[in-house]
Amino acid sequence: MNMGPTKRNNTKAPDLNKRRRRVYSLQEKVEMIKKIYDGASFAGVGREFGVNESTIRSIYKVRGDIMNAFTDAAPRSVNRIVRVHKDAFIQPMEKGVYLWMQDCYSKRLPVSTKRIQNRAKQIYKSLVELSDVVDKDKYTFQGSRGWVQKFIKRYNLASKLVSGDATSDDTETTRRYIEEIYKMMNEGGYLPCQVFNAVETALYWKKMPEKSYVAKEEAMTTGFKDAKDRVSLLFCCNGSGDFKAKPLLIHRSARPRPFQNISMLTLPVHWRANKNGWMTKGVFEEWFMTHFRAEVKEYCATKNISFKAILVLDNCPGYSTNLNDIQNEIKVIYLPPNTQSLLQPMNQEVMATFKLFYLDHTFEDIHKALVDDEELTVRQYWKRFNILHGVRFIGKAWQAVTQGCLLNGWRNLLPDTTPDFVGFEEDNMTRVLNMAKALPGDGFQDLNENDIWNMMESPERELNDTEVLELVDKKQNDIGTEDDDGDCVESSPTLTMSNLKKIMSYYEQLTQLIQEADPSFERKESVTAILDRGIAPYKEIYRERQALNKQSMITPLFGSFSGSPAPQKEEPVSSRYGALTIRSSTPRIQVNNIDPDSKPDFSGILSLPQSAPTNNDDNTEDEDDDPNLV
């Protein structure tokens, strides 16, 4: 009989009172991180979620990995798992097609399935040719109809691809949108003067009638480009017509040669520059936060009304989509698709009237120059006509647009609060035409009203492949060292928090020096008062930036966004029709060089989307749901 030692059973009975370990989902971890960035303490967040403070701190330390994992998991929240045969060129190609379509929609250019297929193949081919891959012949893209259908579904694009005249569905959407905007005004206590509209337009600031000998000679010049004389303008007015914001002008040069000895702050426009003279989200957001909010705030103060407003925008791809997340005073809403021609207030006769006044001032200045110098020809005048002349005429033309004209533009969006349409001012057209026909030289005497309209309604062209790829690579903000005209190009000044602090410091040093060095009490008090008035706008901007840094999330999440473009998801606001929409997006995020002190923007990523874009070509295969697949 074996009397060896018996093996002790070390198995312990389970402790039923011991707290079970809980595994938190990615979305819960993201919510924890957001609450910390909103100012909550680690202990407070722990109490809210029922965990120890140390657990919250551990989650916060790896916040970068959590955000990456969250965004990587988002596309797999759909009902099917799609395995993608990876092609490095598919993702940027689809992003380029998406941006091209958005640009066409904003310009009311027709878009069809066939055009999408052709443009996709062209962009794909350009991407391959510009890459450094070894065997480029292996990379092909068919652009089948199946891919088009999947692409439209992935990016939540409208099923009606061909734009043109408004349909009955668009008319019904327009009616519902008008009802919803009045409902928003009534519920929020907004007056018509607190409803604003901004619109971007292109202006060819140096363009002669096509029949004139000057235009014919320019067209024959080698290397002549319309793009050289094109600027982007952003105009804004309110529903009562008594507010006109200072226009935003986007040029290709930060400081052309005619502006070398001129302060850019004294111009009748807010001057901004990028390589192609396009509106970008960064430029628009800077205009909105720095200029528009300040002007609206000052306007509300003069009217003795509360500082709140509604800004109506179209679906231009250059407009920022997170404006409602970084401030609370101005609610930004967007027009429904395919309703721009029906509802956009500033796209009615307002822009046509502005361009008519611009031509009026241009032709008037030509006549004045010819009278002052009898030996001067139109060709010689036109050769020395530069962007500085154009900017001055832009300011005069916008100032000449009357309140009645602005009210006429709002008659479709706010029909119950605007007067009856009084029609266009035909005398202005007659005046411009007569001045143009009176110019000396071949072709001017043969002009008619259609020629003047053609000058104002310069047809918008669609983006070419090079421009699309520049948008994809986000290089449109890069400013070159010299433009095509040989104009000097400098970096655009940036009013950063660091610069604002320097301005405040220099101001304090200067005022202190004046107080100590000047023996005249009256003189130093007078000069100090002037300095106080001059520094006041910078102090206001500094205080607003400080408040935004504490209360809002103004820095994009951990750096740059990359991957698929955010499909424009239109969320209904208090409406079962979804007529009144505020755009939101779910960007894919790439974390590079995490800054622990930066505050990320969680807008649009705190809930897993029901559907998300996945980058796949025609060669995709569906698989059954696999719970182990992350």
Residue 461 pLDDT > 70, yes or no? no
Q: What's residue 288's pLDDT?
A: 93
Which residue segment(s) compose the domain that 510 sits in?
497-542
Question: Is 530 inside a domain boundary?
Answer: yes
Domain boundary among 456, 479, 513: 456
CA dist., res. 421 & res. 334, Å (int):
25
Residue 167 pLDDT > 90, yes or no? no
Q: What's residue 295's pLDDT?
A: 94
Total number of domains constituting the chain: 4
Task: Give me the count of residues in the chain.
Answer: 630
Of these ranges, 280-284, 360-364, 552-556, the one predicted with the greatest mean pLDDT is 360-364
Helix (H, G, I), strand (E, B) or coil at 458: coil
For the residues 281-306, what does the mean pLDDT come to? 92
For the residues 550-556, what does the mean pLDDT come to? 48
Q: Are 373 and 518 found together in one domain? A: no
Q: pTM value?
A: 0.56
Residue 492 pLDDT > 50, yes or no? no
Q: Please, which contacts does 465-470 make with residues 24 or more away whose CB atoms are closer than 8 Å?
A: 465/122, 465/123, 465/126, 466/126, 467/276, 468/96, 468/99, 468/100, 468/123, 469/92, 469/96, 469/123, 469/126, 469/127, 469/130, 470/275, 470/276
Q: Are 130 and 208 found together in one domain? A: no
Residue 450 pLDDT > 70, yes or no? yes
State pLDDT tens for residues 216-247: 776 665 444 455 678 999 999 999 999 999 99
Domain boundary among 72, 103, 128: 72
* N-to-C CA span, the chain: 57
Residue 115 pLDDT > 70, yes or no? yes
Residue 98 pLDDT > 70, yes or no? yes
Q: Are 343 and 422 found together in one domain? A: yes
The count of other CB atoms within 10 Å of the CB of residue 231 is 22
Q: How far is CA 411 from CA 54, 337, 408, in A?
A: 60, 19, 5
Q: Are 307 and 272 found together in one domain? A: yes
Q: Are 312 and 190 found together in one domain? A: yes
Helix (H, G, I), strand (E, B) or coil at 375: coil
Helix (H, G, I), strand (E, B) or coil at 141: coil
Question: Is 605 inside a domain boundary?
Answer: no
* Token pair for 194: 């607190």
Q: What's residue 279's pLDDT?
A: 85
CA dist., res. 288 & res. 315, Å (int):
16
Q: Output DSSP code: residue 411.
A: T
| pLDDT band for position 577 (cuts 50, 70, 90) | very low
Question: Is 314 inside a domain boundary?
Answer: yes
Number of helices and strands (H, E) in the chain?
22, 10
Residue 451 pLDDT > 60, yes or no? yes
Q: What's residue 333's pLDDT?
A: 93
Residue 82 pLDDT > 60, yes or no? no
Q: Are 306 and 419 found together in one domain? A: yes
CATH at residue 344: 3.30.420.10
Q: Output DSSP code: residue 460.
A: P
Residue 11 pLDDT > 90, yes or no? no
**Residue 555 · residue 600 · CB < 8 Å:** yes
| pLDDT band for position 336 (cuts 50, 70, 90) | confident
Question: Is 93 inside a domain boundary?
Answer: yes
CA dist., res. 618 & res. 243, Å (int):
52
Q: Are 353 and 452 found together in one domain? A: yes
Q: Are 287 and 402 found together in one domain? A: yes
CATH at residue 131: 1.10.10
* Token pair for 546: 């400080």
Question: Is 601 inside a domain boundary?
Answer: no
Q: Are 280 and 380 found together in one domain? A: yes
* Token pair for 372: 């002052």
**Residue 74 · residue 607 · CB < 8 Å:** no
Question: Is 492 inside a domain boundary?
Answer: no
DSSP bridge pairs for 81: 623
For the residues 23-37, what does the mean pLDDT come to? 82
Q: Output DSSP code: residue 266.
A: G
Question: Is 147 inside a domain boundary?
Answer: yes
Alpha carbons within 13 angstroms on the beta-carbon side of residue 366 total 26
For the residues 172-191, what does the mean pLDDT come to? 90
Question: Is 364 inside a domain boundary?
Answer: yes
Q: Are 345 and 210 found together in one domain? A: yes
State pLDDT tens for residues 389-433: 999 999 999 999 999 889 888 988 888 776 655 444 557 888 888
Task: Of 73, 308, 83, 304, give the one whose Cα is nearest residue 184.
Answer: 308
CA dist., res. 245 & res. 237, Å (int):
6
- What's the mean pLDDT when you consider all of the chain? 75
CA dist., res. 280 & res. 290, Å (int):
15
Identity (one letter) of the amino acid at 143?
Answer: G
CA dist., res. 251 & res. 276, Å (int):
7
Q: Are 190 and 331 found together in one domain? A: yes
* All residues at 6 or more sequence positions from 323 whose CB lies less than 8 Å from its CB, including other chains: 285, 288, 311, 330, 332
Q: Are 386 and 430 found together in one domain? A: yes
Q: What's residue 418's pLDDT?
A: 63
State the alpha helices, DSSP H only, in 238-348: 281-286, 293-303, 323-326, 340-343
